[in-house]
Amino acid sequence: MRLDLPGCHILPGLINAHDHLEFNLFPQLGSRRYRNASEWARDIYHPDRSPVREHLQVPKPVRLWWGALKNLLSGVTTVCHHNPYDASVFTADFPVRVVRRFGWAHSLEFEPDIVARFRSKPFIIHCGEGTDAAARRAVAALDRLGGLGDRTIIVHGVGLDRVGIDLMRKRGAALIWCPTSNLHMLGRTVSRAVLQSGIPIALATDSALSAHTDLLDEMVVARRYVSAERVAEMVTTIPARILGITPSRDWIAVRGGAVAAVVSRGRLRLIAPEFARQLPAAVRRRLQPLAVEGRPAVLVDADVRGLRRAAKQKELRLAGRRVLS
């Protein structure tokens, strides 16, 4: 299928190196600055109370699909989902590629057997997500458990100090950086020393629980700290390398800063309405309109109407943005 996309730049599909797809319909939770993520989690997780109760009543497959649509709207074609892989949902019809071959643990506090999970490559774990002494010691603690090596990717790393930076470099570990989530929860993100350390760093969103953001928003925030060229690497070549993936047949078309088309695994997943007239009738029939506050209206390869009904919410918000259609 040939597409004529005047005025567009064709780019590689973006990679969101860290998301929890099923939590992107949730509101951002937490009413203050926290010393660490465990303190935040204990404060916000009350499954028997509103608003968590109502959102957990939405079927998980429906929430996973909405998380995929959040990513698709920002040009993401591959997501590393930091929760169990659901093969019944992540089929060829799912809008984005979900990384399958990696090991993961939630964190040092909530994972009883780090060593068993570390045997997988790559191995991803929340670590150093805080500003207190425990967060500063977290990388060394992970190392003592045998969980830090060249297969390790830590998420957040806000507590990294010079000792932790040196240890990560020595072990060949990598970092996933989620600045919006860090700023909301902790009031700051990783230090300039971390960003200038030479440690491989990928950029990611985290979920709406801590960050009302998509990857385009996150790239804007990252530009406060590093160059545009570096940001581009953080959402393409670096995550591909550290996650061990080859996202072939993935590309996006961007026009005026907005995503005009997305192709993932060789299949058209999103297109601006003005370009859809070129499509064969069979392809057009698969597409439904999706408009989200702050983003241009597009057509997506998803049952948007069915997903709206299944979400059962009067005002549906996707990573904080109102879903308009």
DSSP-derived secondary structure for 74-102? TTEEEEEESS---TTTSSTTSSSEE--S-
Least confident interval from 46-50, 64-68, 169-173, 259-263:
46-50
User: Is the pLDDT assigned to residue 192 strictly greater than 80?
Assistant: yes
Confidence class for position 270, pLDDT limits 50, 70, 90: very high
| 224 Cβ neighbours under 8 A, 6+ residues apart | none
Q: What is the pLDDT of residues 10-67, one digit of tens each?
A: 999 999 999 999 999 999 999 899 999 999 999 998 989 999 999 999 999 999 999 9
Burial of residue 56 (number of CB atoms within 10 Å: 0-12, 13-18, 19+): middle
Please tell me the pTM assigned to this model: 0.96
Q: What is the pLDDT of residues 135-145, one digit of tens each?
A: 999 999 999 98
Region 177-204: mean pLDDT is 98
Q: What is the pLDDT of residues 209-245, one digit of tens each?
A: 999 999 999 999 999 999 999 999 999 999 999 999 9
User: Is the pLDDT assigned to residue 112 strictly greater than 70?
Assistant: no
Q: What is the pLDDT of residues 114-156, one digit of tens each?
A: 766 776 689 999 999 999 999 999 999 999 988 999 999 999 9
User: Is the pLDDT assigned to residue 110 strictly greater than 80?
Assistant: no
Alpha carbon dihedral 205, 211, 216, 221, in 10-degree steps, equals -100
Q: What is the largest CA-CA distance in the chain?
A: 60
Q: Which CATH superfamily is domain 12-247 in?
A: Metal-dependent hydrolases (3.20.20.140)
Q: Supply the pLDDT for residue 109.
A: 76
Q: pLDDT exceeding 70 applies to what percent of the chain? A: 98
d(Cα 289, Cα 301) in Å, to the nearest integer? 9
Q: First CA to last CA across the chain, in angstroms? A: 28
